[in-house]
């Protein structure tokens, strides 16, 4: 949860996590915008590996955008934050274990740090550094998506193309949100039932 009573004079870490299509980036953008409305200084970062929308903005699947720095490594962040009171970091799963120490240092220095990223890869393994960030953060939001097969709450990213890379950057078509029951990391077939259901709906 985002704190309703905000600490004064200290920093903290908020983590927004969940599977693909759970609205992590939207939630990050919402929090950053609220800080901007309050005239707080913000700095937003995302790894350069994520070039799925614009060159220098954080974009969600819903089309919202936020100006951001593209970085290769987490160690670049301290030199770029300037006097920002609020620091947002998207796609944290690409920034590696060194992000944990950087986030801690920023929070220790009195900044509000908001980190968004995938908590699991498509095989269901914890995606570093999110497990470590969850451990050291004050506030955690785990978003659920909706299972694209059965409509239940979903916390897994199902890959629907058979490839080895741990994450397929900028290829949201290669994933579906799935619930525990419908998720199978060894089966790369896309949702059959939903297409079937869609046809029925359009016929009636
Ligand atoms: Zn399901």
Q: What is the pLDDT of residues 47-67, one digit of tens each?
A: 986 555 555 667 776 666 778
Q: What is the pLDDT of residue 193?
A: 53
Q: In which domain, by residue range, is 132 found?
A: 12-203
Q: Is residue 199 part of a domain?
A: yes
Active site residues: 91
Taking the model in full, what pTM does it have? 0.86
Q: Report the chain's mean pLDDT, rounded to a whole number.
A: 88
Per the structure, the count of domains in the chain is 1
Q: Any idea what the CATH number is for the domain that residue 45 is in?
A: 3.40.50.300
Alpha-carbon span 56 to 162, nearest angstrom: 30
Q: How far is the CA of 20 from the centre of ligand 1 (A)?
A: 14
Q: Is residue 6 part of a domain?
A: no
Instruction: Please give the share of the chain, as a percent, with pLDDT higher than 70.
Output: 83
On the question of pLDDT at 9 being above 60, the answer is yes
Q: How far is the CA of 175 from the centre of ligand 1 (A)?
A: 14
Q: What is the pLDDT of residue 64?
A: 66
Q: Is residue 99 part of a domain?
A: yes
Q: Is residue 7 part of a domain?
A: no
Q: How far is the CA of 92 from the centre of ligand 1 (A)?
A: 26
The residue-averaged pLDDT of 31-52 equals 88
Alpha-carbon span 73 to 51, nearest angstrom: 15
Q: Is residue 28 part of a domain?
A: yes
On the question of pLDDT at 40 being above 60, the answer is yes
Q: What is the pLDDT of residue 202?
A: 47
**Residue with more model confidence, 58 or 72:** 72
Q: Is residue 69 part of a domain?
A: yes
On the question of pLDDT at 204 being above 50, the answer is no
The residue-averaged pLDDT of 71-85 equals 95
- Which range among 28-37, 68-77, 187-196 shows the weakest confidence by mean pLDDT? 187-196
On the question of pLDDT at 203 being above 50, the answer is no
Q: How far is the CA of 181 from the centre of ligand 1 (A)?
A: 6
Q: Is residue 5 part of a domain?
A: no
Q: Is residue 166 part of a domain?
A: yes
- Residue reference for tokens 């004079």: 9
The DSSP annotation for 82-110 comes to: TT-SEEEE--GGGS-THHHHHHHHHHHTT
Q: How far is the CA of 200 from the centre of ligand 1 (A)?
A: 19
């Amino acid at each position: 949860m985002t704190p309703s009573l905000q600490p004064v004079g200290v920093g903290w870490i908020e983590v927004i996590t969940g599977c693909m299509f759970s609205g992590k980036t939207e939630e990050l953008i919402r929090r950053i915008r609220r800080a901007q409305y309050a005239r707080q200084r913000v700095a937003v970062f995302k790894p350069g590996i994520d070039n799925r929308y614009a060159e220098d903005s954080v974009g969600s699947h819903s089309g919202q955008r936020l100006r951001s720095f593209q970085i290769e490594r987490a160690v670049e962040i301290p030199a770029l934050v300037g006097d920002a009171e609020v620091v947002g970091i998207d796609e944290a799963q690409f920034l590696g274990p060194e992000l944990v120490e950087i986030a801690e240092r920023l929070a220790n220095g009195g900044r509000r740090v908001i980190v968004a990223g995938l908590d699991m890869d498509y095989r269901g393994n914890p995606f570093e550094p999110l497990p470590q960030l969850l451990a050291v953060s004050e506030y955690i939001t785990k978003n659920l998506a909706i299972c694209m097969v059965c409509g239940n709450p979903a916390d897994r990213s199902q890959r629907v193309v058979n490839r080895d890379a741990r994450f397929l950057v900028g290829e949201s078509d290669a994933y579906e949100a799935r619930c525990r029951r419908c998720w199978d990391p060894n089966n790369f077939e896309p949702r059959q039932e939903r297409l079937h259901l869609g046809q029925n709906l359009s016929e009636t």
